[in-house]
Structure 1
Amino acid sequence: MTSKRKWIVGSRQSALALTQTNQVLDALSDLGRRHGMPCEFEVRRIVTKGDRILDVTLSKVGGKGLFVKEIEQALMDKEIDFAVHSMKDMPAALPEGLIVGCVPEREDPRDAFVAKAGWTLETLPQGARLGTSSLRRSSQMKFRRPDLVVEPLRGNIDSRLKRLESGEFDAILLASAGLRRMGWEDRITEPVSADVCVPAVGQGALALECREGDEELLALLKLFHHERTAVAVAAERAFLGRLNGGCQVPIGAYATIDAAGDVTLTGFVGTPDGSTLLRETAVGRDPAKLGTAVGETLLARGAARILEEAREE
């Protein structure tokens, strides 16, 4: 009988992070058993800078990798074997020696509108308070509904929902994927179309990050890899990389792949006040070239100025 290989897995300690990590590990355990690679896992909870700072919006905290840096350090120090991240938390460039060894199939990439009294985004009353932790969401909401009062909302999913229930907000925006992974899809009043609010780069996708050259682990992770998701996310991340964007400016991108293998990518850059929204859609076969090209087009159309102004603030 083949002995079980034990892997140490890094995860943030929020309920959502641990839930999605355990869902991944259940799937890997089953795949390993069926392919003659029996394994077991130990989850190491790691607190990141983004977890510690909850009283300031992410755009003001600054820096990249707010939710991954400490976990990546544990990987480089060989304290853990791999990590389960939300792809949207991943900077465009990874530290030397680390790779994304697996991109599982994507959950719903759209934002979720969650409201009291059954309101929709279109029927929310003038002057209603809309809570969101994201510059990307607030920019697009201010553009579409300038009559709303958009206010910052940090914290985990549970605390954000409680603040809605307590009457602090009339509606909030969250990632559909997080609610669905927690089994709370019934809380979603309506999903927000990507045509209305372009999702964050990699939203709904996960990244399993590990050390380069760890062939035994990579063989296991490969069993859970979803190539179509990986290609779509690669286009989105190439766009992000070309813009060198972080949390300080509203940026989003969403890619889909058709049956013929053509990738359609929509990229978005806006001003925080929602006065300017730049969007560009293009189709291609090479995700890296496509993402770069959409980024170049938006830079030429005015995104360069928006990014420069954001960095000067």
Structure 2
Amino acid sequence: MSSNVATRTIRIGSRKSQLALVQTHWVQAELSRHFPDINFEVSTMETQGDKILDVALSKIGDKGLFTQELEDDMLSGDIDFAVHSLKDLPTNLPEGLRLGCVTQREDPADAMVVHEKHKDKQIDTLPEGAVIGTSSLRRLAQLRHHFPHFKFKDIRGNVNTRLRKLDEGEYDAIILAAAGLNRLGMSDRIHQILPPSISLHAVGQGALGIECRSGDDDILSLLKVLEHEPTAQRCYAERAFLRGLEGGCQVPIGVNTTIENDTLTLTGIVASLDGQQLIKDTVTGSPTDAESMGSKLANRLRDQGAQEILDVINAENRA
């Protein structure tokens, strides 16, 4: 690397939330370890999704809800790249931007955290009428499918705010991403990891996606050290599946991916909000065919009626 590159300052964009900063500072530390002669600075900002806390995410519209302000700063040159939770990054990026790398995935599963009075319970032994907190339509639809006897209540705010609301008795249990709790050092709050048979996770959940300008070869070459190929292959399959269904972050689409013996297995679901309809299928293939596998699975679910379910949900969200 030339000396003029090695001595410059590179600016990393991040949301201001505690979890976002933990993730971004990890990226900063890893890059500093690999490139000690470069100064990596973190620039923080609030996104639209951070500011609107009194409206369900599905009602706001999710195109760039947690990313647009960071993307604007990249395009204007104020920052060089941005660190996102990959599940927040739309599958179609603005012109001039690209996904620079995908980092090694944390546990992508959903986790249940319970009020103290239910510490001897699992999700299938919670009492009838238990109040479950989630802001995710994906979790809501799947849990309604399996547990129609629960009551579901929207919950917003950062992880600490959600845990406080649970501890104060507003909910019997809440569902969060295991990855976020692990990264925040709160693994002890995880009461149960929900298996894929109950809840398929969000596209990209548990992985970080680093977004940068398309033609910035300098930055792209730096980010290569953070790329984790098996995670990237799994996430590219998941994102192609979501893109194929023209779904955003706030639709009841769930996935599960594994790579074993050089075989990628991708399972996907589309569910109705009331949980009555749940369409699920699986494809397998080579990890190098990840994107075409995602598209193939999207087409298969569409043929089985997924598009009709999504059309109803999108109409309700626009209403």
- TM-score, length basis structure 1: 0.95
1:312 is displaced (CA, Å) by 2.1
Partner of 1:7: 10
- The sequence identity of aligned pairs, in percent, is 48
Partner of 2:86: 87
Partner of 2:107: 108
- Cα distance change, pair 248–218 in 1 and its aligned pair in 2 (3 A): closer
Partner of 1:20: 23
Q: Does residue 153 of structure 1 match 2:178?
A: no
Q: Does residue 189 of structure 1 match 2:188?
A: no
Whichever residue aligns with residue 162 of structure 1, its letter is: R
Partner of 1:144: 146
Aligned partner of residue 296 in structure 1, secondary structure: helix
Aligned partner of residue 155 in structure 1, secondary structure: coil
CA distance in 1, matches of 2:9, 2:197: 44
Partner of 2:211: 209
CA distance in 2, matches of 1:254, 1:248: 17
CA distance in 2, matches of 1:240, 1:106: 18
1:31 is displaced (CA, Å) by 1.7
Deviations 1:44-101 (A, max 9, x none): 1121111111111111111412100111111111110000000000111111111111
C-alpha contact 2:91 2:240 (8 A) present in aligned 1 = yes
C-alpha contact 1:88 1:201 (8 A) present in aligned 2 = yes
Q: Does residue 295 of structure 1 match 2:316?
A: no
- Bigger Cα displacement from structure 2, 156-165 vs 121-130: 121-130
1:246 is displaced (CA, Å) by 1.6
Q: Does residue 282 of structure 1 match 2:283?
A: yes
CA distance in 1, matches of 2:129, 2:62: 33
Q: How does 1:30-41 map to 2 (within 5 A)?
A: 30-33=33-36, 38-41=37-40
CA distance in 1, matches of 2:166, 2:284: 39
Q: Does residue 56 of structure 1 match 2:55?
A: yes
CA RMSD of aligned residues (A): 1.3
Whichever residue aligns with residue 39 of structure 1, its letter is: I
1:248 is displaced (CA, Å) by 4.5
Aligned partner of residue 311 in structure 2, secondary structure: helix
CA distance in 2, matches of 1:132, 1:254: 20
For structure 2, list consecutive stretches of 5 or more residues without a partner in the other structure: none
1:102 is displaced (CA, Å) by 1.3
CA distance in 1, matches of 2:185, 2:128: 31
Deviations 1:205-241 (A, max 9, x none): 1101111121222111101110110000000000000
C-alpha contact 1:268 1:278 (8 A) present in aligned 2 = yes
Whichever residue aligns with residue 278 of structure 2, its letter is: L
C-alpha contact 2:87 2:249 (8 A) present in aligned 1 = no
CA distance in 1, matches of 2:48, 2:125: 37
Structure 1 runs of 4+ with >6 Å offset: none
C-alpha contact 1:130 1:171 (8 A) present in aligned 2 = yes
- TM-score, length basis structure 2: 0.94
1:195 is displaced (CA, Å) by 2.4
1:247 is displaced (CA, Å) by 4.1
